[in-house]
Chains A and B, each alone.
Chain A
Amino acid sequence: MKTLELDQVVKQYGDKTAVNGVSFDVEEGEIYGLLGANGAGKTTTMRMVLSLIYPDGGSIKYNGKPYYKGLEKIFGYLPEERGLYPKVKVSEQLLYLAQLRGMARKDADKSLKYWLERFNVPENYNKKIEELSKGNQQKIGFIASILHNPKIVIMDEAFSGLDPVNVELMKETVKELRDNGTSILFSTHRMEHVEELCRNISILQKGNAVIQGNLRELKSKYPREKVVLRTVGAVEGLEQIAGVSEATRTEEGYFIRITDESAGQHILQAAMSQTEVKHFEIKEPTLNEIFIKVVGGESNA
């Protein structure tokens, strides 16, 4: 069964349409990526999923039903701006939030200690939020969103402000949650995280979902326009091959842009006829490239 189903969801602020008919599904044990430029409507969509604000049109279903009481116990939410009390001790407020979500205080305490240990910050148990560095506050917010073993987790820019080591830690955790059957709706501006974690994605632009679907399929739909060639000796006349728009020499070989995928075979033949080929690859476009192509660098705030 689909954990989350959004169908033609619309949200308007005054006469501005923040989300304009967005639909997608999230399965059990799936990480769904919500991408888009600043102001595209990601946060607004997530707030509607949480029922913090109500859609002006369309419907959102949870396990096949409209919003029902008890969902608040299985929701986990990491807001974009870290929602924590600055002047309250970490343990005090995290236990409170877990209790509100229906967890017993004692279990929450055990769980909190486990997570602090796992993220290498057990000393933060008795510290106030305002005493922590930004990255450590981020970790606490992350723990707060998963402490009560939620089934539906919504993370708005989960990894912002973390160093590479901690990003790895968080990614491991997110994957572990996914493998335990948690559905995760996930937004980020870091495309490499999406490529690593998400099965399906939506790219929003001005409230519209301009690209949607399985990440692998999406990528394969986009023309492959880059060839990486590594050879022992030099290769002449690459630019003259039909379909090649640009060829540049690199340390170990050539980087070639093509406009037609069939040009790849001609490049390989030309190279093999002149020297020994060590490496030949027609590269898939990265999500980053697709994103830039689709959103086109234009801001839509």
Chain B
Amino acid sequence: MNTAPLLAVDGLGKAFDGLVANRDISFVIHHGEIVGLIGPNGAGKTTLFNCLAGFHTPTTGRIAFEGRDVTGSTPEAAAALGIARTFQIVRVFQSMTALENVMVGAMLRNKRVAEARDRAEEELAFVGLSHRADTPASDLTVSEQKRLEVARALATEPKLILLDEVMAGLNPTEVREASALVHRIHQRGIASIIVEHVMEGIMPIAHRMLVLDYGAKIADGTPAEIAENPAVIAAYLGE
């Protein structure tokens, strides 16, 4: 019944005092889709996330979420509409426990503390951090903090989640677990865009891949197509 794409980005560009971080990027994301977003360092992936989540106002182009124009909205408005994100450099609430971190996310939909706590416990369990619920977030390992950010984002009941390098620095077992987590997010009907340098983590699970280079989209296709795309290979070799 949902024929309109979940997210439609059209001609998006973002410049910082002359430095163009995103240029003329267009793509769509469908409901529940898992989309990988890759590209060399500084390609503009995080900038794109910042535009989608309302942290940056795009210089050009439009962003439509569920058919509604959300270009230049605020982060809090984006979150309310159902766009959640994690941060490449983790930003957990240091003075709170893991559970309390997730509760803050859950409070977007339910301001009652007790109910937000129940919801947060479910999400902690979902990412496998139940045993750390009462641990101060600052005492978690970095990989646990990244998972905590995922739980916190999921607690806002998003329709689209933007994951920025959640697999960076993980060992192979942990990467597999993270891939499984992304798959379970997909099973909940939540679409995800995943920025990742860890190809083994993203290629097997992504339905589609977007590739950025120097701020522009250079490829958009299945992981298999991307792996053979000459422009992509050139971008990575030229790094």
A and B together in one complex: no
**B contacts, CB < 8 Å to A:** none
**A contacts, CB < 8 Å to B:** none
